Amino acid sequence: MKKIDYIKEINRLKKEKKAVILAHYYQRPEVQDIADYKGDSLALSRIAATTDARMIVFCGVHFMAETAKILSPDKKVLLPVKEAGCPMADMVTDMSLKKYKEENPDVTIVCYVNSTANVKALSDVCVTSGNAEKVVSQYKGKKLMYVPDKNLGTYLKEKFDLNMNVWNGFCCIHNEVTVKEVQNAKESYPDAQLIVHPECQLEIVKMADFVGSTGQLLNYVKKSNCNEFIIGTENGIIHQMKRACPNKKFYLLTDNLACYDMKLTTLKDVYDALQQEKNIIEVKDDIQENALKALEKMFEYTDN
Ligand code: 13P
Ligand code: SF4
């Protein structure tokens, strides 16, 4: 059987079908390399909202492709691997949030973008790790519930002294990082700065020199005068860091910082999805309309 040159074929199909390929920084290096745009969830959602492509192939996890569909409902959005999900996003269900809202009608629901469309549709405003600080600081003094990430929520609550409760969700990759592991890494690399994602637990975040979304971490290493970094987020980002700063050194905080779901997508999956136009993301009209309102509210605070 003739071997398929996936890179060549993906590039051909992309033009033929007027498709744009978006890849999150946690994707496999070869998948990031084939993408038209790579970014964190905030940057990719902005591209999804504004692209004039006919089709979006979203190399990431389900909530990201779903967010693209909410923002661009007239486009065909494909998720190359339909099973690629985010366990954290499933830690709050629309049923449980509906019940919470019934019991707490005066509480404003702030929803991390790592959530389902149904949960976004029940929320007042969305945030991503790249703009959460800017968005929640607008809600000082209000009664808030933050879903689903307890770690990012607790970080925000403490930093801005918010009247906020946090849901009990977490990222099973970032949440696992321990103080001992940080101490060991700092001992092994005494000249390196520690930079972490806010999905790590607060005690880890407090030990860091910088905290930010994946895009913010990448910008930080580009601008910093420091030459060595301990990376407290998923290993995929190191591909872009090395590319941007070939003379700097990057050490992954622990070997466990690998997101199983993010790594499911291969070049073959991207090719198959494009060729067969399969794994189309659908969002019901009423859910799309309400979820869009929560996302637009987020952009209102961050873009003005
Ligand atoms: P970003 O907002 O930095 O893209 O992070 C998304 C994510 O899933 C982190 O685990
Ligand atoms: Fe979800 Fe964590 Fe994977 Fe991000 S790294 S997609 S939060 S499981």
What phi, psi does 220 have (nearest 5°)?
A: -60, -50
The amino acid sitting at 105 is: P
Residues 190, 237, single domain; the answer is yes
Quick one: 99 and 152 in the same domain?
yes
Q: Where are the strands (E) in 149-294, listed by range?
A: 164-166, 193-196, 210-211, 228-232, 249-252
Q: Among 40-49, 165-174, 274-283, which stretch is predicted with the lowest mean pLDDT?
A: 40-49
Q: How confident is the model at residue 204 (pLDDT cuts 50, 70, 90)?
A: very high
Per-residue pLDDT at 304: 65
Whether 122 is covered by a domain: the verdict is yes
290 within domain boundaries: no
Phi-psi region of 288 (alpha: psi -120 to 50; beta: other; left: phi over 0): alpha
Q: Please give the pLDDT value at position 302.
A: 85
Q: How many domains does the chain have?
A: 3
| Boundary (domain end) residue, out of 115, 135, 170 | 170
Contact (CB, 8 A) for 218 and 25: yes
Determine if ligand 1 sits within 6 Å of the CB of residue 45: no
Least confident of 47-51, 234-238, 250-254: 47-51
C-alpha of 59 from chain center = 12
Per the structure, the complete domain to which residue 32 belongs is given by 6-85+262-282
pLDDT at 1 over 80: no
CB-defined site of ligand 2, < 6 Å: 61, 86-88, 114, 171-173, 199, 234, 259, 261-262
What pLDDT does 183 receive? 98
Distances (CA, A) of 153 to 83, 128, 144, 208, 217: 27, 11, 10, 17, 19
Residue 304, domain member (yes or no): no
Amino acid letter at 174?
H
What is the rounded end-to-end Cα distance, in angstroms, of the chain? Answer: 55
Q: Which of 153, 149, 151 is nearest to 133 (CA)?
A: 153
Residues 88-141 have pLDDT tens digits of: 999 999 999 999 999 999 999 999 999 999 999 999 999 999 999 999 999 999
| Cα atoms in the Cβ-side hemisphere of radius 13 Å centred on 109 | 28
How distant is the alpha carbon of residue 55 from its chain centre? 20
**Alpha carbon of 249 to ligand 1 centroid (Å):** 22
Residue 303: the pLDDT is: 76
Mean pLDDT, the chain, rounded, equals 97
The stretch 53-82 carries a mean pLDDT of 97
Residue 112 token pair: 């991390």
What's 140's DSSP letter?
Answer: T
In-domain check, residue 303: no
Instruction: Confirm whether 228 is domain-assigned.
Output: yes
Strand partners, 59: 23
Atom of ligand 2 nearest to the CA of 174: 2
CATH number at residue 156: 3.40.50.10800
Task: Say if CB 294 and CB 126 are below 8 A apart.
Answer: yes
Nearest CA to ligand 2 atom 2: 171
| Same domain for 15 and 75 | yes
pLDDT digit string, tens, across residues 46-66: 999 999 999 999 999 999 999
